[in-house]
């Protein structure tokens, strides 16, 4: 049995995902209609037999804490757990987490009472399905001090990542953070024919690491002031001549770091055969069992849509969209290429009658290329149309980023409002 503990990084303030992160941490952002981003790394761990997990957070962590407490319960005989580790003052540090490495360093003392040989470090804001047991076996086979999961990318994408120079034996010889296009010719790695023929000559770090326990402790002891894995810890480990291996991953992976990447990843789930498979017997994605009623639909035309449970839908048409839990959508409304996150609770009939606009989407609305956060109240005959010609702006109720209109959580949009239509 491989003795491994996972540390899942909750990330920083998540400013690039604003306003979705204005009241929640990045790992708590809803995705796929009924899940949260944190469910992805935790599900990958559970499917891989890794049942001891710490989630490291410090920003807006209340909803994340609640979700984990309500979702992940283990049999008392399994010794499994998912525990939250929030930034805290200790005798050795009175600072918040200053970076990825600093977050792990400050959390290491919580691992002392757990028997383990390896530490798996993951990000809490990525979408992928990976067998970490295979990753760990590869790490052991290579007798590596550190193994970094990498993904082959083309030259156009390489400047957005940390790029590894990998030799034919799979050992990382050098590393650079976000190289400019003029430097790329020097950073090609030895890759299999199927990658090179597709122009994927570069191996990008996925931010997924396996360390030997003793090696990670040594790195922290040697570099007590280093705060970031990608910028400090990993480059110095490579320069020190240690055994740093690359584990090339060739399946779907998306870093959910911006509104655009979040939007694209969600909409891609509506494809006929999406790259990220929610319908898999062996790679299940786990989340909170809410015990909601089935969705109820009245004469709506659907095409390539994901509908979560608990919805009440009277819409005219919903196409290439993700409709989240407890969504309420009125008659005559048309929704396309949009994400409706739904609601945290149901309003009673009395509550709906006592307000000007009940929670949900009203009648005869048109919504295109938009993200509607939870608990919004959208009136009748509202038009929300995003497109790439729109400039980035922010108001009290919505934000426009990369041509995508994002309604803030709990926003109230009056009848007849027009947003974004050119």
Q: Where does the pLDDT of residue 135 fall: very low under 50, low under 70, confident under 90, or very high at 90 and above?
A: very high
Q: Which CATH superfamily is domain 296-419 in?
A: Hexapeptide repeat proteins (2.160.10.10)
The mean pLDDT value for 403-413 works out to 97
pLDDT in tens, 181-240: 888 888 988 888 888 888 899 999 999 999 999 999 999 899 888 888 888 888 889 888
Residue 12, CB half-sphere, CA atoms under 13 Å: how many? Answer: 11
Buried residues in 142-153 as b, exposed as e (16+ CB within 10 A):
bebbbbbbbbbb
Q: Which of 97-101, 131-135, 337-341 has the lowest mean pLDDT?
A: 97-101
What share of the chain in percent tops pLDDT 90? 65
Domain extents for the chain?
A: 4-268, 296-419
Structure-model confidence comparison of residues 206 and 75, the more confident one: 206
DSSP-derived secondary structure for 141-189: HTT-SEEEEEEEE-TTTGGGSEEEEE-TTSBEEEEEES--GGGGGGG--
Q: What is the CATH number of domain 4-268?
A: 3.90.550.10
pLDDT in tens, 33-72: 999 999 999 999 999 999 999 998 877 778 888 999 899 9
- Which range scores top for mean pLDDT: 75-84, 234-243, 275-284, 312-321? 312-321
Model confidence at 96: pLDDT above 70: no
**Cα–Cα distance list, 240 to 100, 219, 224, 234, 275 (Å):** 20, 10, 16, 10, 38
For residue 92, what pLDDT is reported? 54
- Per the prediction, the chain carries an average pLDDT of 91
pLDDT in tens, 353-402: 999 899 999 999 999 999 999 999 999 999 999 999 999 999 999 999 99
For residue 401, what pLDDT is reported? 96
pLDDT in tens, 100-120: 787 888 878 888 888 999 999
Which residues, in sequence order, are CB contacts of 419 under 8 Å at separation 6+? 382, 383, 384, 385, 398, 405, 413
Structure-model confidence comparison of residues 198 and 330, the more confident one: 330
Q: Where does the pLDDT of residue 87 fall: very low under 50, low under 70, confident under 90, or very high at 90 and above?
A: low
Provide the token pair at 422: 């050119």
Q: What is the DSSP letter of 229?
A: I
4-268 and 296-419 have identical folds: no
């Amino acid at each position: 049995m491989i003795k491994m503990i996972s540390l899942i990084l909750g990330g920083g303030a998540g400013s690039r995902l604003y306003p979705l992160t204005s009241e929640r941490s990045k790992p708590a952002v809803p995705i796929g209609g009924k899940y949260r981003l944190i469910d992805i790394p935790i599900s990958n761990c559970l499917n891989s037999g890794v049942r001891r997990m710490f989630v490291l957070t410090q920003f807006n962590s209340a909803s994340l804490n609640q979700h984990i407490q309500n979702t992940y319960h283990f049999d008392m005989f399994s010794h499994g757990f998912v525990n939250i580790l929030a930034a805290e003052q200790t005798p050795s540090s009175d600072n918040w987490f200053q970076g990825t490495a600093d977050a792990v360093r400050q959390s290491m003392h919580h691992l002392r009472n757990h028997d383990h040989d390896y530490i798996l470090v993951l990000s809490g804001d990525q979408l992928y399905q990976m067998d970490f047991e295979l990753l760990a076996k590869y790490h052991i086979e290579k007798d590596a001090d550190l193994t970094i999961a990498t993904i082959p990318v083309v030259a156009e994408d390489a400047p957005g990542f940390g790029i590894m120079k990998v030799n034919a034996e799979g050992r990382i010889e050098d590393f650079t953070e976000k190289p400019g296009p003029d430097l790329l010719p020097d950073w090609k790695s030895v890759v299999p024919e199927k990658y090179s023929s597709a122009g994927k000559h570069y191996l990008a770090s996925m931010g997924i690491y396996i360390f030997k326990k003793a090696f990670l402790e040594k790195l922290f002891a040697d570099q007590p002031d280093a705060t970031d894995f990608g910028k400090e810890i990993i480059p110095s480990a490579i320069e020190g001549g240690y055994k740093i291996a690359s584990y090339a991953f060739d399946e779907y992976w998306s870093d959910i770091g911006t509104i655009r990447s979040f939007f694209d990843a969600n909409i891609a789930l509506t494809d006929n055969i999406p790259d990220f498979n929610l319908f898999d017997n062996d790679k299940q994605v786990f989340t909170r069992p809410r015990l909601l009623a089935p969705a109820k639909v009245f004469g709506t035309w659907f095409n390539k849509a994901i509908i979560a449970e608990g919805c009440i839908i009277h819409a005219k048409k919903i196409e290439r969209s993700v409709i989240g839990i407890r969504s309420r959508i009125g008659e005559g409304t048309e929704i396309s290429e949009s994400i409706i996150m739904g609601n945290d609770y149901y309003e009673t009939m009395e509550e709906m009658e006592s307000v000007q606009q009940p929670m949900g989407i009203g009648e005869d609305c048109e919504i295109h290329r938009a993200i509607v956060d939870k608990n919004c109240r959208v009136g009748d005959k509202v038009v929300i149309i995003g497109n790439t010609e729109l400039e980035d702006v922010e108001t009290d109720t919505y934000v426009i980023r990369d041509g995508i209109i994002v309604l803030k959580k709990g926003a109230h949009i009056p009848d007849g409002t027009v947003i974004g239509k050119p």
